Amino acid sequence: MTQITMTQAINRAIDEAMAEDAGVILLGEDVAAKQGGGVFKISSGLTEKYGENRIRATPISEQAIVGACVGAALAGFRPIAEIMLMNFVTVAMDQIVNHAAKLRFMSGGQTNVPLVIRTTTGVGVGFGGQHSDMLEAWFAHVAGLKIVTPSNAADAQGLMRAAIACNDPVIFIENILCYGLKSDDPGPGHVVPLGKAAVAREGSDCTIVTYGRTVLDALEIAGKLADEGISVEVIDLRTIAPYDEATVTASVEKTGRAIVLHEAVKQYGTGAEIASRLNEKLFGKLKAPVTRIGGAFSAVPMANALEQAWIPNKDAIADAVRTAVNWKG
Amino acid sequence: MTDTTIDRDKLRDIYTRTMRVARADEKFRSLLMTGKLAVIYYTVRGQELVSAAAMAALEPSDYLVTTYRGQHDQIAKGVPLNPLFAEIAGKVGGTCRGKGGSMHITHPETGVMVTTGVVGSGLPIANGLALASQNRGDGKVTMVCFGDGATNIGAFHEAMNMAQLWKLPVIFLCQNNRYGEHTAFADHTKVDSIVTRAKAYGMAGVHVDGNDAIAMYNTTKAAVDRARAGEGPTLIEAMCYRMMGHFFGSDFSYMPKEHLAEMAAEDPLPRLRQLMLDHQFTEAELDAIVADLDAQMDAAAEFAANSPLPGPEEIRKDVFEEEIAA
């Protein structure tokens, strides 16, 4: 079977959506052909097909990029804003949090903002403190935003199609380290619905709930622990907010144990929300406390040795599973 | 030199829009003073004409983005009074079912797409509405209104640059009312005129007396025509004056008494009435327009008073397209 990289998959999803709907436009720094089709080449080849009116390279003006996309969305377009790196969304927070997220509600449902904000991030490429953050929890805290991140190429294609079709604003997080990942080609028209998690691996002793690049870590650890006789179920959330609580709860009810794993710092993160909800739903049925594993509580360091110490360590994740399985209460 | 002629019907139109704004503002202040309404209210006293003349130059289908002190813009653009009054009162019969309030009025049927409480943030959004029109070729123009204070936020500068870069059909209408909240223009901005900033972005910029109905209308019309012809954006700096405090009932001792007296002499309302008389409209004709408007205000206030409060179930609706769980 032919394979497809995540870069190709996201490009294809945008291409398909643009071919179907003239209201799909892409705005961002360097995205047009003249500037090289985006720093990560996601929009490569699209300017040639759809022209510079629809693939617009912008000035370095994050507020203006997101604001223009909010306005175009209000006028019935389905814009995609490329914010080159997730840390730069901080510059556009007003447009995202006060406008994109709230206009449907504040207008009493008269208007809506079908906008996708694509952004990239990832620890492990030596970009340091202002290019590497996972900030999904900030956005998950705001009513009105949907947050999506793929862990594989096929999902990236399908989730991007669903995000563009969504009538609400979606933050779409792409991990730089995943761009080269290959999946079996799902073919054209592939859609993965928002809000549906995937059981990435079935197991019976402990559940690891995760999303994005750390799904790969979880699968690797699950494979190793299987050799020790520990059966780990891996849930790939795919949509971080609103997350598929039914699938997560059902899995943890089955295994009785859960680890929530993410690349973002542990403190006040998505893991805290999921762990708390599992406590509320399954108190008395849990065989061990739900634990969280996340990045260190510091800025992401540049030096590779420090960066590797910052990110959740695979041995520590495996130990957390072993601790849960051997929990005596 | 701005054209000083104007069509008689257009003048009547501007007068009616101005007085609709003025009588609505008067009604709101009266409701607040008598305790019939208890909401935060940003009076537009002194700025009635600037938006009436500007909106008279737009088509009903053109887009408008405005700010928390935007009631004059919304009324002049055509938002119907009953739902507007009900929205400001937080009632279910409001434009936004009581979920927006005066600072967040939306009414797409009359082109009012966003009213924002965040100073200066409407400009980038206006660009997006204009970009959609440019791509569609629908001929619509987007106007975004803001005050002098908004010109110091980064979004203003990003949006001005982008609009000019892409020649978007957008009009940036700065209603320079001389105050950013409690801070006087000279204490927050070093340039003498906001038009200087248009020049910095290579954009057409026009300075106009916002209390001169004919100049204000003709200036706006010229900008609208340019935008529709694909010639790009214009910044209009319309001079006007906020005759009361930042919000109704707030202390405004920071506004010098001598300056207030000086500005009262330039009150746009008596000045417009005199202009109408100069153009052979009769006192009786003008009074009849106002009497009719006052009847509409009474009806709108009654509509708002009788409209129910929104129920708690509204909290779960319109967060997303699908209703969220309780």
Q: Is pLDDT larger for residue B241 or for residue B81?
A: B81
Instruction: List Cβ<8 Å contacts ≥24 apart for A298-305.
Output: A299/A128, A299/A129, A299/A130, A300/A123, A300/A127, A300/A128, A300/A129, A300/A132, A300/A133, A301/A128, A301/A129, A302/A126, A302/A127, A302/A128, A302/A129, A303/A126, A304/A126
Partner residue facing B320 (CB), from A23, A72, A168: A168
Assess A246–B contact: CB distance below 8 Å, yes or no.
Answer: no
What is the token pair recorded at A31? Answer: 């995205």
**In this model, does residue B212 exceed pLDDT 90?**
yes
CA distance A75 to chain B (A): 6
Residue A191 confidence (pLDDT): 98
**A174 a catalytic residue:** no
Residue of A nearest to B131 (CA): A72
B165 CB neighbours in chain A (<8 A) are 59
Peptide bond just before B60 cis, omega within 30 deg:
no
**pLDDT tens-digit profile of B109-134?**
999 999 999 999 999 999 999 999 99
- Cβ contact (<8 Å) for A144 and B320? yes
Partner residue facing B132 (CB), from A64, A76, A146: A76
- Mean pLDDT along residues A216-243: 98
Query: For residue B6, what pLDDT band results from cuts at 50, 70 and 90?
Result: confident
**pLDDT tens-digit profile of B8-48?**
999 999 999 999 999 999 999 999 999 999 999 999 999 99
B154 CB neighbours in chain A (<8 A) are 63
Residue B5 confidence (pLDDT): 83
- Mean pLDDT along residues A12-34: 97
Q: Are A100 and B319 in contact (CB under 8 A)?
A: no
Residue B2 confidence (pLDDT): 56
Assess B100–A contact: CB distance below 8 Å, yes or no.
Answer: yes
- Cβ contact (<8 Å) for A63 and B158? yes
Assess B165–A contact: CB distance below 8 Å, yes or no.
Answer: yes
Q: Are B139 and B133 in contact (CB under 8 A)?
A: yes
B166 CB neighbours in chain A (<8 A) are 56
Q: Are B142 and B129 in contact (CB under 8 A)?
A: yes
Report d(CA B152, CA B183) in Å as an integer: 12
Q: Which of A16, A29, A131, A307 is catalytic?
A: A131
Residue B248 confidence (pLDDT): 87
Q: How wide is the angle at C-alpha B159 spanned by C-alphas B151 and A29, nearest 5°?
A: 140
Assess B167–A contact: CB distance below 8 Å, yes or no.
Answer: no
Q: Which of A29, A62, A82, A233 is catalytic?
A: A62
Partner residue facing B129 (CB), from A75, A107, A167: A75
Report the complex ipTM. 0.96
- Cβ contact (<8 Å) for A71 and B129? yes
Which residue of A26, A52, A56, A63 is the best one to mutate when testing the B interface, meaning the one whose CB has the most B CBs within 10 A?
A63
Place of tokens 């975004």: B144
**pLDDT tens-digit profile of A109-134?**
999 999 999 999 999 999 999 999 99
- Interface size between A and B, measured as CB pairs under 8 A: 150
- Mean pLDDT along residues B175-186: 91
Q: pTM of the full predicted structure?
A: 0.97
**A62 a catalytic residue:** yes
**pLDDT tens-digit profile of A24-50?**
999 999 999 999 888 899 999 999 999
Q: Minimum mean pLDDT among A86-100, A131-145, B137-151, B258-272: which range?
A: B258-272
Q: What percent of chain B has pLDDT over 70?
A: 99
B324 CB neighbours in chain A (<8 A) are 242
Q: Are B71 and B42 in contact (CB under 8 A)?
A: yes
CA distance A279 to chain B (A): 19
| Range 116-145 of A in CB contact (< 8 A) with B | 143-144
Judged by phi (left if over 0) then psi (alpha if -120 to 50, else beta), residue B323 lies in beta
Residue A70 confidence (pLDDT): 98
CA distance A85 to chain B (A): 19
CA distance B22 to chain A (A): 25
